[in-house]
Structure formats: structure tokens, C-alpha cells
Structure 1
Amino acid sequence: MRLSFLEPLYEQTGPYASVYLDTSRDSALDDADAAVELRWRRLRDTLLSEGADQDSITAAADAVGSDTDIPGMHGQAVFTAHGRLALLDELPTPPARDTAHFGTLPDTLPLIIQHSPEIPYLAAHVHYGGRHSTDATGTVRIEGEAGVWPLTKVMPGHRLHEEFPVSDWLNAAEVMGRDLEGHARRVNAEAVVVAGDVWARGILVRRLPAPLRGRVTTVEGGGESEPRRALLEHRLESLFSGRMAEHDQSLLAGFLAQRARGGASAEGLAAAVSALQRGRVKALFLNNHPKSPLRLWIGPESGQLALTEQELRSYGIQDVRRERADAALTRALVGTRAELVLVPQQHLRLHEGVGVLLRYADPQPRT
């Protein structure tokens, strides 16, 4: 996963207020707004107890609950620093619990997890309920959306709506196929999901360009799409659950290949820190342990991290602090434009939950 969406956050200097809260509006608007306000008050008290400045709390308060146009279950991630909004992101799923933290580094891992698996896809829903014949009366209506899952739950991709006479559906489906290919190409879609009437969608699928046709999965049902929510949302949830994006799978395959031959890879926190210090990490692999006790020492710059305070001070760095390892690692990844891949522990258990694919291997000593 590329972490470029976090770059604006680190353009600010800490300390940061990090807020995650449920902003779902699944009840009457007045009741929902009151519930969000109550949740925020609890988090505000937490920030005050951790020493957050009033200006940063005010900036967070201004952003909380600003997503009134997003229906259904969702949440917000709000980051502020020195009285300014550093980053605001909508969460596809409400956080398991509302949290707030004030510290030197932002608490970014819950946001990264919500962005995962970042699968680019194209969805199409063919609406038709008439006789299965091109001499029937009526129309075929098609909806399409290209986006990245699961972010399209709260940040819809480009949506298209078209309608054609049934009598012209054979020709129209071919035109639509080319149009859909263009939308798929824009997001580099790795999956094409098609729902709707079996006869009408079958004609569309057979007329899709070959590269797209080979990626098609047909699903049943789908229902009417809800504004500001992903097209075929519930079908996509089932289809993509537990799946890794092809890009991340490729990085993981590279890591495993390098590990098998003792090449450009390493495992464990010490090895990861050493590689990040030298800007050698291409991708870092992480087993998600939200309550991990691992800590690192950091300096003001992204590449200033170490296992011990003494090591960091030996580099001439005076302003050092001890922080959660995942927060320190994420800042270093963004600073060096390396990638992060979340790997389920049941899929691959990493030493200390951390592994790295290096940009290059250490040179072999001459004999």
C-alpha cells in the first residue's frame, strides 16, 4: 500500500491530536448529531487529560461531524497540530471504539487499516425486468462505478448512468463495454464485478473488451444503489473480504522469494529500523497487533529512529522521545516513500510482527 495520502499530515510538526470516532447517521438527523457530539465530548476530555492545547482541540471540534452528507455506517479520522487541521479522512467503517490521543506522532495505523486492502475495481449493475428478447419493449438501464475498495463506501468513484432501448441493447452493450474499459483503465482495475438481470448482463459481459472480460465476476442481487455509497457495496464487501490487492500480493511474493534465497529481505524490529535509517526499505510488512508493547526512540526527522535512546543520541540528536513502534515506522515509511503491506498473521507470521523487502541487498564480501 502506498502511503502518499499521509504526506500532508507529516508536513506539520507535532505534537498531534489524533481522533477516531463513529459519525454514523443511521437515525433521525437531530438524534445522530447529538450522539456524535456526545462521543466527541468524551474524546475532548481525553485530549485535555493528555495535555492537548486548546487550539488543537478547537480545530478538531470544527472538523468532527462535518460529514453530514455521508449516509449509513462510517466514521472520521481527525488529526490536528498547533491549532490547525492536519488531515481529515472519512472511515469506511466506524472504529471499533472511539479513541483520542495526543502525542509527538500521530496515531495513523487505524486509518491505514481502514484504507486496506485498496483494491481498484469496476462495478456495473444492469437493470432490466422485461422479456429476454431484443424485440421486447422497454429499456435497459446500467450503472457503473470505478473506484478503490473500501474507500468508495464514503468517497464514491466516478459514477455513470446510461439507458438504452432493449431493441438496441446488442449494439449499445458493445459501446458501453468500451466506455467501461476506459473507466477501468483510469483506476487500473484488477476486478470487474457485474450484477443484474442474467440475460442483459450476459450480453454486456460478452461484449466487454477481452482484457476486461478476463477479470469479470458476476454476482446476484445488488439492489438499488444509495447516493454517496459504493455501487454494489454489500456484494463487494463479501467478494473482497480477506483479500489482498494484487499490488500488495506482488510485494509479498517478492519478499518471500528474497527470504528463501537469503537476499534483499529481513525480519524483526531491529532489522527494519536499521534498513529505514539508511533509506533501504522498498516495502515493510506488518502483522497488525493493535496492543503491541513494542516502542522505539525517535528524533524530529522521519529517518531518526532507533531501538535505544543511547543509539539515537550517539548520532548527535538531542530531542529524543519514546513512541509506539507502529507510529515511528509509519512516519519513516512516508518520509522515505516506502510502502506498507498489512499481512494477516494466519497468512504469514513475521518475527516480532515485522518484515522488510529491501531496495537492494547488502554487497557480498569478497573472498
Structure 2
Amino acid sequence: MKLSFLDPLTKEPGPWASVYLDTSRDVDDPDKAIELRWRHQRDALRARGADPATVSALESVIGADRDLPGRHGQALFATDGHVVLVGELPEPPVRDAAWFGRLPNALPLAVQHAPDIPYVAIALTRDGGFLDTGRPDTGQSDTGELTAEEEREQGPADDVLIAYEAGRWPTSTVTPGRPARLRVPAEEWQHAARNLAHEIADLADRHHAERIVLRRDTGEAWLSGVLVNRLPRHLQDCTSVVEEEPDAALDGDTGAALVGEQVAAVLDGGLSMADRRHVDAFYAQRARHRARSEGIRAVVTALQRGQAQAVLLAPPVRLPENLFTATDPDQIALSAPELKAFGASGVREEPAEAVLLHAALRTGAELIVLPPDETPLTDGVGVLLRYRDVADVTVL
């Protein structure tokens, strides 16, 4: 996963206030609950030396995500009296937290962005019901594809309601798009589906979608089959069809992502295609050079040398409480003497997760959060190396 969404955190020198707060709306009097949570973190920031202007700037945006339903959280970063970045968390933090220091602590936010899979969601339903032909289920629930004869036999009735949007899993659960919506007379569905397939293919191409998640009413193989049959073959191959009981009030009408639960069921625990390629390359690298591939020392060494293509996390991650950093992004180490031996000045001790994420961001490394079923790593961390010349390979 690329970390470019955190670029604003590299533009200013700090010091930084970083706050993670549960701003869920699924409790009684959520505004009061959020105010109490923020009060504790505000006091913590003041105790750590945060200036009043920065604290006040944060207070102005705490809980500003009140339009989001259900459970979620906020990650907020401010410096020098102004808020630089507000990130929405698909899940509330395990515990509210606040830091004030030289670096922003953005790792918990980055982890909640992973695996960052681009997708297109489609919802199909009837306004008026399904015309029962008396035919049994054809077993097409996996892909929804039907033959031309089956398309003709499944008779149309009433209108077809369609909604579709692009998103990125899992952040779309808290930053939903605005779905396009169509109503088509069912007798025109076969013709309309051809044009719709072109629009969906264009949307998928523009957003580099890797998966299509299509929700249809139970028993409506005809509806989904007509559309899936008209998609380009590469999109048919990455389409998952999910059946549910008819529901005309499609997701997306209440501020939620379109067919969000179905998207979660399909994509949760997966990796983006780019991340999977990196992980496969990492396993090949680790088979040859295990000591240079996993563990906190291996990761720190690669970041020191600017050789980290991607940092891998395999929860539970076991980092030291602090790491040491200096002026330049690659000046990080496990101890202060190690940095001073490199001639670094202004050495400071900072939270380890803040140092690692900042060094990865500033040196162009990516971040990969491994699914639970992947191979465990020493300290819960690993690094895919970036080789700049043949000599780099030979020293490993």
C-alpha cells in the first residue's frame, strides 16, 4: 500500500500533536461521550507540552464526522496552531490516545487504511418483484452468468433498480462515494445492461478496480447474469455475486458505502494485487536472506540505507517502546550511540511506531499489513528490499 495519503505530514517540521479518538455514534448521547473522551486527551496533550493554539485547532474538528453512522473513529494531526490532516478510522481505536512530539504518529491510521483494495460495488433489485417462471435455481450464484436461452426464459417484470460506485476497501466504510442510480423498465434490461456494462467497465478502469462486488436479490440470476455477461472478460473473472433478500432501500441511502457488508465479506482478509506481488517477492527474499528480511533490526537497517521497498507488519507487532531519530528521514537507529556513530546530530528518542512510519513515508517505502493467516514474522515486522545495483545483492 502506498503511503501518499500521508504526504501532508511531511510538509511541516512539527512538533506534532497526534490524536486517536473513538467518535462512534452507536451509543446514547454520542456527543457527550465524544466530549468526555476528548477532554482526557486534551489534558494529556497539555501535560506533554502542546501549545494552546494547536490544542484549540484540534478541538474545532473533534467529532466533526457526526454524519457517519455506527462505529468509527478519528485520527487527527496538528502543528503550529492548525490541523494538517484528519483521517477517518473504519474501526474506533482500541483505546483513545494522544501524543505530542517531534514526529506525527500516523502508523495506527496507516494500518486501518490497509489493504486499500480498489473495487466497484453494484446493487441490483426489483421495484415490484420477480416474475416467477417456475424454473428451479440454475446454480448461477457464484458468477451470475446465464446463457442466451436462459436470459430469454427469465421473464422481465416491473423496473430494475441499479446503483453502483467505486471505492477502496476498507476506508470506503467511512468515506463512502456517491453512487450512481438508475431505474430501467425490466423489459428494457437486456438493452440497458449493455450500456451499463460499458459505464461500469469505464469506472473500474479509471479507479483501477481489482474486484467487482455485485449484490442481487435472492433468486434473481437473470438480473445479474444479463449484466455480468456483458462485462469485459477480465471483469467477469474478478466479479463476486452475493445474494440477499430483496431490499429496495439499497445501502448508500444512509451515508454508508454501497453494499458495504457484502464488500467486507468478499474483501476482508485479502491483499491488493500489488501487495500480493510484494509479499511473494518478500518470501523469496526471506528464503535466501532471513536475517536481512525480518525483525526490527532488519527493518531499521533497510530504512537507514534507503533500501526498503516495503515494510511488512504481521500483527501482533512487537516493537520496542522507542527508537532514535535525527534530522534526516533515514537517520533512525535502535540506540542513540548508533546514530551518533553515523555523525547524526539532534538525536532524539521518539515512539517506535512513529519513527518507523515516518522513515518509510519519507524514503518512499510502502506499507503492507499481512492477513492473519500469513506466516508470522520475528517481532511481527519484515522488509522487502529495494536493490539499487548488483553490489547491493552481493552484500546480502
Please give the per-residue CA displacement for 1:283-309, whole angstroms capped at 9, x wherever unaligned: 111223466335321012211111221
SS in 1 for 2:179: strand
In structure 2, the partner of 1:232 is: 259
In structure 1, the partner of 2:394 is: 364
Paired residues for 1:104-115 under 5 Å: 104-115=102-113
Q: Is the 8 A contact 1:153 1:228 kept in 2?
A: no
Does residue 209 in structure 1 map to residue 232 in structure 2? yes
Q: Is the 8 A contact 2:269 2:372 kept in 1?
A: no
TM-score (norm 1): 0.92
In structure 2, the partner of 1:163 is: 183
Aligned residues, how many?
363
Shift in Å, 1:134: 7.3
**Structure 2 counterpart of 1:139, from 154, 159, 169:** 159
Please give the per-residue CA displacement for 1:206-232, whole angstroms capped at 9, x wherever unaligned: 221211111111112274213321111
Does residue 243 in structure 1 map to residue 266 in structure 2? no
Q: Is the 8 A contact 2:308 2:385 kept in 1?
A: yes
Please give the per-residue CA displacement for 1:107-137, whole angstroms capped at 9, x wherever unaligned: 2121112111211111101111231577645
Please give the per-residue CA displacement for 1:58-98, whole angstroms capped at 9, x wherever unaligned: 11101111122222222111111121212111112222222
Question: Using the alignment, how far apart are the partners of 2:291 and 2:186 within structure 1?
Answer: 57
TM-score (norm 2): 0.85
Shift in Å, 1:55: 1.4
Does residue 313 in structure 1 map to residue 340 in structure 2? yes
Shift in Å, 1:103: 2.0
Amino acid paired to 1:70? L
In the superposition, relative to structure 1, how do residues 43 and 262 fare at CA in structure 2: closer, same or farther (>3 Å)?
closer
In structure 1, the partner of 2:3 is: 3
Question: Using the alignment, how far apart are the partners of 1:308 and 1:42 within structure 2?
Answer: 32
**Aligned residues with identical type, % of pairs:** 42
RMSD across aligned positions (CA):
2.2
In structure 1, the partner of 2:85 is: 87
Question: Using the alignment, how far apart are the partners of 2:393 and 2:165 within structure 1?
Answer: 48
In structure 2, the partner of 1:35 is: 33
Amino acid paired to 2:105? D
Paired residues for 1:1-367 under 5 Å: 1-26=1-26, 31-128=29-126, 129-131=129-131, 136-197=156-217, 198=220, 199-221=222-244, 223=247, 224-225=250-251, 226-262=253-289, 266-289=293-316, 292-344=319-371, 346-360=373-387, 362-364=392-394
Q: Please identify, of 340-349 and 329-338, the stretch whose mean Cα deviation from structure 2 is larger.
A: 340-349
Question: Using the alignment, how far apart are the partners of 2:279 and 2:117 within structure 1?
Answer: 15
Please give the per-residue CA displacement for 1:328-353, whole angstroms capped at 9, x wherever unaligned: 11111111111111124652222232
Shift in Å, 1:37: 1.3
Shift in Å, 1:265: 5.7
Question: Using the alignment, how far apart are the partners of 2:337 and 2:185 within structure 1?
Answer: 74
Question: Using the alignment, how far apart are the partners of 2:323 and 2:372 within structure 1?
Answer: 22
SS in 2 for 1:194: strand
Question: Using the alignment, how far apart are the partners of 1:185 and 1:5 within structure 2?
Answer: 21
Shift in Å, 1:274: 2.1
Runs of at least 5 residues in structure 2 that lack an aligned partner in the other structure? 133-152
Shift in Å, 1:325: 2.4
Question: Using the alignment, how far apart are the partners of 2:54 and 2:315 within structure 1?
Answer: 29
Q: Is the 8 A contact 2:312 2:369 kept in 1?
A: yes
Runs of at least 5 residues in structure 1 that lack an aligned partner in the other structure? none
Question: Using the alignment, how far apart are the partners of 1:64 and 1:47 within structure 2?
Answer: 14
SS in 1 for 2:86: strand
Question: Using the alignment, how far apart are the partners of 2:318 and 2:102 within structure 1?
Answer: 18
Please give the per-residue CA displacement for 1:161-180, whole angstroms capped at 9, x wherever unaligned: 11111111111111111111
